[in-house]
Structure 1
Amino acid sequence: MSEIKKMQDRLSAWLVKHGLIHRSLGFDYQGIETLQIKPKDWHSIAVILYVYGYNYLRSQYVYDVAPSGQLASVYHLTRIEYGVDQPEEVCIKVFASRRNPRISSVFWVWTSVDFQKRESYDMLGNSYDNHPRLKRILMPKSWIRWPLRKDYIAPNFYEI
């Protein structure tokens, strides 16, 4: 078993030991474990992961699972410690319903997520509770619907 896989197994086992409900979705091609967290549990688990040492949010994005399916909010977290050659990484997926895609914001845990969450809101309509400045940043304020959803139908307009 590789050293990376051992570290990731340690995180999953640690979460289970402390009664934190999650589901393992396996490992990616780099050996990074992907965990699924329920939307109602995400904020408290995010705080716990931060305290546990996952102090760097590398990226956050949302994708549409299927035209009538859920929206997945994905977080890539890294545990950076001084003097460690191989930092621990984990990928967290939080699935939200298409009709009401509300997830707790982790802005107050990792403030670097600010513009990434704004883009997720603007393009796919995910709403983040307790985000201080959630608003459209790419589309005009008058734009209706969410252009990166798989069921989006482009409006009939022509540029001059």
Structure 2
Amino acid sequence: MVDENTPDNAPETEQAAIVQAGPVSSWLTENDFAHDGLEPDHLGIELIKVSPDFLIPLCTALYAYGFNYLQCQGAYDLGPGKELVSFYHLVKVTDNCDKPEEVRIKVFVPRDEPHIPSVYWIWKAADWQERESYDMYGIIYDGHPDLKRILMPEDWVGWPLRKDYVSPDFYELQDAY
């Protein structure tokens, strides 16, 4: 989207870089919460980028603003040597709401120090979801009450869904019978 204040003679790359602020981003800006607005996804859901340091204050504010349901928390890898991303899909659930308001928060962290504060204390649904992101990508959710592997064996080495992961030459089945 092109901002109406962008001059018509501005380079196309500059025009393409400007993202119209959505309603949640506008509310966060009005209340002095540090964040960056991203281009909405293919379904039109507003995307907000936040640094790990501001995740808890921002999520607490969004909870108070009415986003009372964490529909999904997950992670993905941008590629070898690039950042890891933890995302949170939040929904504002009300009694008379045919189309609930949705927003997705994204936190980008370096793969060598992937620390993000846990949102478990805001939305209990983050419990197993953060554990799965830890297990598959190695993102450490500081403050999580029971951050341990959930899918892989406890003694597994590495993070299987990272794009630079090298599979072991063998895997010994234990207690298979």
Give 4+ residue runs of structure 1 displaced > 4 Å after superposition: none
Amino acid aligned to 2:59: A
TM-score (norm 1): 0.91
> Could you say which structure has the larger radius of gyration?
2
- Cα RMSD (Å) of the superposition? 1.4
| Uncovered stretches (5+) of structure 2, i.e. residues with no partner | 1-20
Amino acid aligned to 1:70: E
Q: How far apart are the structure 2 equivalents of 1:71 and 1:12?
A: 23
Against the structure 1 CA distance between its residues 97 and 86, is the aligned structure 2 distance closer, same or farther, given a 3 Å change threshold? same
Quote the sequence identity (%).
48
1:3 corresponding residue in structure 2: none
Aligned match of 1:134 in 140, 147, 152? 147
Q: How far apart are the structure 2 equivalents of 1:159 and 1:133?
A: 26
Amino acid aligned to 2:103: V
1:69 corresponding residue in structure 2: 82
Q: Does 1:43 align with 2:45?
A: no
Against the structure 1 CA distance between its residues 62 and 19, is the aligned structure 2 distance closer, same or farther, given a 3 Å change threshold? same
Q: Does 1:106 align with 2:119?
A: yes
Query: How far 1:159 moved relative to its partner?
Result: 6.5
Query: How far 1:158 moved relative to its partner?
Result: 5.9
Against the structure 1 CA distance between its residues 158 and 104, is the aligned structure 2 distance closer, same or farther, given a 3 Å change threshold? closer
Q: Highest relative contact order (Cα 8 Å, sep 6+), 1 or 2?
A: 1
**Aligned residue pair count:** 153
Amino acid aligned to 2:112: R
Query: How far 1:74 moved relative to its partner?
Result: 0.7
2:102 corresponding residue in structure 1: 89
Three-state SS of the structure 1 residue aligned to 2:59 is helix
1:20 corresponding residue in structure 2: 33
Amino acid aligned to 1:62: A
Query: How far 1:84 moved relative to its partner?
Result: 2.1
Q: How far apart are the structure 1 equivalents of 2:34 and 2:154?
A: 38
Query: How far 1:9 moved relative to its partner?
Result: 2.1
Deviations, residues 41-95 of structure 1 (Å, cap 9, x unaligned): 0011111100100000000100001111110001100011121222100011001
TM-score (norm 2): 0.83
